[in-house]
């Protein structure tokens, strides 16, 4: 079965929903949104681990055109952000456009018609199949396997990915994990039916997710063994409920919420100076972080374990008021000896010490530098996107990739942020893509494909800006950097600079193919 639609969006997080809203506002109603789950929300629907919250201030963590006067706290929790996204989908009447339970299996560009064929599978059937085959999300699927769920195809002129850069969980490659017989899950797939109360729990990883759920798990677990490979730098989180007065002002005083938003935006934006332009300034932030360790941890051995030895900012700077106190609890051990092997009911560290456990939780993050598996997106000449990216993922303005016409990526290469709200970048990309579609329709272009040299120069500039920044040369291993040692994830400049670059679709940098028949 094959059907057609002029515009297809993948995903219903901030990116997919924002794109849908702006398409409708511009008068383009001929789009569908493919969503593998049964509800909207993206990362804020998928990540429901205990303690899940945003480490960007709530005033900044919403669409600029739909600011939320109802945030309850300075840093919103997961449920509230998910409610906000559902509210946006309802308010802008996006539900009729969304096809739920559609997992995108692949997409292929057809030269003759200059269109994309997107293959989808019923998502629950696909999850069952993957579980049966022992495959993790993001693993390649054998298309010739007769047991695999049937694919449907959808033909589309414009394909917009709103799948996000941090949506495929990463699992550690540790000997023996497949033989573990207790309960195990990744932070993104938290099993709320499994009661951790009184259990012996091991957590692997100490990143942004783990530091949020570890204090919650430590409240109930009989024993929590936290396997730390590299300690993160952590700052105090200025989190508090908004007062009644503040909330009244947000609702009734014109511009009150926007004024707060602007002040946070510019304060965070100023941090780029230290991160990218003058990393020595990071020492000031480091003093604050060291002070927090001294204040919250009394044991000198534990203090030493949790104090990083790399420049602050090299990995995402985390914020928490309850992580260090949780580590200081009697039922929590921070293990820094590395993991040698996982056995059916225990973990052996690299000193040979064995610790029995009932449950193993992976706080091991996401496949940030390889968000798509091989064999998923094929552009001109059947080229696999992953092969096009063998020297590192790159795009023009983080959005279009040469040889992949009409394929627009939101939160594509080098559009991630370490210092402020990603929603800002998403809105910039929405503006750029919307202008591209508008120009395509006005000029009767069937396809637009960025010129290779334009993409190359753009990325050379990005890499030269990253040189010397704490994100590239901060002396740590981070998910910002790919296996070639290249930072393919972060935007290395001010976000207003990105806004400027994406304020209009620069068709002169593209090869624009006229349509044989008008596109409707």
CB of 208 to ligand N01, least distance (A): 4
How far, in Å, CA of 429 to CA of 411, rounded? 8
Name which of 141 and 342 has its Cβ closer to ligand N01: 342
Q: In the range 120-179, which residues lie near ligand N01 by CB under 6 A?
A: 166, 172, 174
- In the complex, minimum distance from the CB of residue 188 to ligand N01, in angstroms, rounded to a whole number: 8
Of the chain, the end-to-end C-alpha distance in Å amounts to: 22
> Least distance from C-beta 432 to ligand N01, angstroms?
22
User: How near is the Cβ of 202 to ligand N01 at its closest, in Å?
Assistant: 11
Q: Which of residues 187 and 400 has its CB atom nearest to ligand N01 in the complex?
A: 187
Strands 359-362 and 183-186: parallel
Query: Which of 479, 494, 498, 505 lies at the binding interface for ligand N01 (CB under 6 A)?
Result: 479
Q: Minimal distance in Å, beta carbon 310 to ligand N01?
A: 10
Of 6 and 371, the one with the shorter C-beta distance to ligand N01 is: 371
**Residues 363-422 interacting with ligand N01 (rule: CB under 6 A):** 363-366
Complex with ligand N01: residue 166 or 260, whichever CB lies closer: 166
Contact status, residue 119 vs residue 150, Cβ threshold 8 Å: no
**Rule CB under 6 A: is residue 316 a binding residue for ligand N01?**
yes
From residue 180 to residue 209, the character string flagging contacts with ligand N01 as x (rule: CB under 6 A) and all else as - is: -------x----------------xxxxxx
Decide if 476 contacts 314 (C-beta within 8 A).
yes
**334 is a site residue for ligand N01 (CB under 6 A):** no
Q: Are 54 and 127 contacting, i.e. CB atoms less than 8 angstroms apart?
A: no
- As a whole number of angstroms, the distance between CA 233 and CA 380 comes to 44
Q: Which of 4, 329, 477, 503 binds ligand N01 (CB under 6 A)?
A: 477
Residues contacting ligand N01: total by CB under 6 A: 24
- Residue 14 interacts with ligand N01 (CB under 6 A): yes or no: no
Cβ-closest residue to ligand N01?
207
Q: Which of residues 36-95 bind ligand N01 (CB under 6 A)?
A: 54-56
Please count the other Cβ atoms lying within 10 Å of the Cβ belonging to residue 339: 19
Phi–psi pair at 128, nearest 5 degrees: -60, -45
Cα 220–223–227 angle (5° rounding)?
115
Report the alpha-carbon distance of residue 176 to residue 184 in Å, rounded: 13
Structure tokens at 32: 């569908």
**Nearer CB in complex with ligand N01: 70/230:** 230
User: In angstroms, what CA-CA distances link 291 with 295, 317, 418, 519?
Assistant: 6, 15, 22, 61
Q: How far apart are CA 402 and CA 411, in angstroms?
A: 17
Given a contact cutoff of 8 angstroms between Cβ atoms, the answer to whether 161 and 409 are in contact is: yes
| Interacting residues with ligand N01 (CB under 6 A) | 54-56, 166, 172, 174, 187, 204-210, 227, 229-230, 316, 363-366, 477, 479
């Amino acid at each position: 079965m094959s059907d057609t639609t002029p515009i297809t969006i993948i995903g219903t997080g901030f990116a997919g929903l924002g794109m849908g809203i702006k398409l409708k506002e511009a008068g383009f109603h001929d789009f569908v949104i493919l969503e593998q789950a049964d509800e909207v929300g993206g990362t804020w629907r998928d990540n429901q681990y205990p303690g899940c919250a945003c480490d960007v201030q709530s005033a900044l963590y919403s669409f600029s055109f739909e600011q939320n006067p109802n945030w309850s706290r300075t840093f919103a929790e997961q449920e509230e952000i998910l409610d906000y996204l559902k509210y946006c989908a309802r308010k802008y009447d996006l539900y009729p456009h969304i096809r739920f339970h559609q997992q995108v299996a692949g997409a292929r560009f057809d030269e003759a018609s200059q269109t994309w064929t997107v293959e989808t599978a019923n998502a629950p059937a696909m999850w069952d199949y993957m579980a049966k085959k022992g495959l993790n999300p993001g693993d390649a699927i054998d298309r010739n396997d007769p047991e695999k769920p049937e694919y449907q195809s959808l033909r589309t002129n414009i394909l917009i990915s709103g799948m996000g850069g941090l949506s495929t969980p990463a699992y550690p490659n540790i000997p023996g994990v497949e033989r573990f017989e207790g309960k195990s899950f990744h932070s993104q797939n938290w099993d709320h039916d499994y009661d951790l109360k009184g259990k012996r729990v091991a957590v692997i990883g100490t990143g942004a997710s783990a530091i949020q759920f570890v204090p919650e798990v430590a409240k109930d677990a009989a024993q929590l063994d936290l396997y730390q490979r590299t300690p993160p730098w952590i700052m105090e989180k200025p989190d508090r409920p908004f007062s009644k007065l503040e909330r009244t002002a947000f609702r009734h005083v014109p511009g009150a919420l926007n004024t707060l938003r602007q002040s946070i935006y510019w304060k965070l934006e100023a941090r780029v100076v230290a991160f990218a332009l003058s990393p020595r300034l990071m020492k000031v932030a480091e003093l604050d972080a060291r002070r927090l360790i001294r204040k919250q941890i009394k044991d000198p051995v534990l203090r030493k374990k949790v104090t990083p030895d790399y420049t602050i900012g090299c990995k995402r700077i985390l914020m928490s008021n309850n992580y260090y106190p949780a580590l200081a609890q009697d039922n929590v051990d921070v293990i820094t000896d590395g993991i040698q092997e996982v056995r059916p009911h225990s973990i052996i560290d690299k000193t040979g010490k064995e610790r029995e456990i009932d449950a193993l939780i992976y706080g091991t993050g996401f496949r940030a530098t390889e968000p798509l598996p091989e064999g998923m997106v094929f552009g001109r000449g059947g080229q696999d996107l992953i092969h096009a990216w063998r020297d590192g993922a790159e795009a023009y303005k983080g959005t279009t990739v040469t040889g992949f016409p009409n394929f627009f990526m939101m939160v594509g290469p080098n559009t991630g942020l370490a210092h402020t709200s990603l929603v800002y970048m998403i809105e910039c990309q929405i503006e750029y893509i919307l202008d591209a579609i508008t120009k395509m329709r006005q000029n009767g272009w069937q396809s637009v494909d960025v010129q290779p040299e334009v993409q190359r120069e753009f990325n050379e500039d990005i890499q030269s800006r990253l040189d010397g920044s704490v994100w590239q040369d901060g002396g740590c291993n981070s998910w910002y950097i790919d296996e070639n040692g290249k930072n393919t994830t972060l935007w290395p400049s001010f976000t207003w600079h990105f806004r400027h670059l994406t304020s209009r679709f620069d068709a002169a940098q593209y090869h624009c193919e006229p349509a044989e028949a008008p596109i409707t």
